[in-house]
Amino acid sequence: MHDYGRQNLGAFYSSIMGGIVTDPALMTVPVDDQFVCKGYGASETMVLRDDHLFMPDEHMARLTAACAQSGISLPFSAVEIKRIYPGHCGGKWQIKWTKN
């Protein structure tokens, strides 16, 4: 298995594990995932520097709106997401959710 994508991830929310994982071996997506198979999901990429997200409210508003328009339920609120991210990763931070 090629680990290129996992090398740059500090943390990953795993719906299989039911939480955030930091072990690259656990950073997997099911083969029948709606985002992978059908492109049915919402994604937002943010810049994280020194444990601070750049324009977090704007990013959360876009993500929340995209999920609402697609009928996707977020497992966390925007407030919880902003509370979770510190210490998990730096650089670019990406959130992807798919409809269950």
The per-residue pLDDT for range 34-77, each reduced to its tens digit, is: 777 877 788 887 777 776 777 888 988 998 898 889 888 877 78
Measured distance CA(81)–CA(44) in Å, rounded? 12
DSSP character string of 38-93: H--EEEEEEEEETTEESSHHHHHHHHHHHHHHHTPPPSS-HHHHHHH-TTT--EEE
- Model's pTM, two decimal places? 0.64
Which pLDDT score, from 0 to 100, does residue 91 have? 54
C-beta of residue 78 within 8 angstroms of C-beta of residue 97: no
pLDDT tens-digit readout, 72-92: 887 778 778 777 766 655 555
Which pLDDT score, from 0 to 100, does residue 89 have? 56
CATH 3.40.30.10 fits 4-98, yes or no: no
Q: Where are the chain's structural domains?
A: 4-98
Which pLDDT score, from 0 to 100, does residue 93 have? 58
C-beta of residue 92 within 8 angstroms of C-beta of residue 45: yes
Which pLDDT score, from 0 to 100, does residue 1 have? 47
Residue 47's φ and ψ, nearest 5 degrees, are -95, 130
Alpha-carbon torsion, ordered 58, 63, 68, 69, to 10 deg: 90
Measured distance CA(21)–CA(44) in Å, rounded? 19
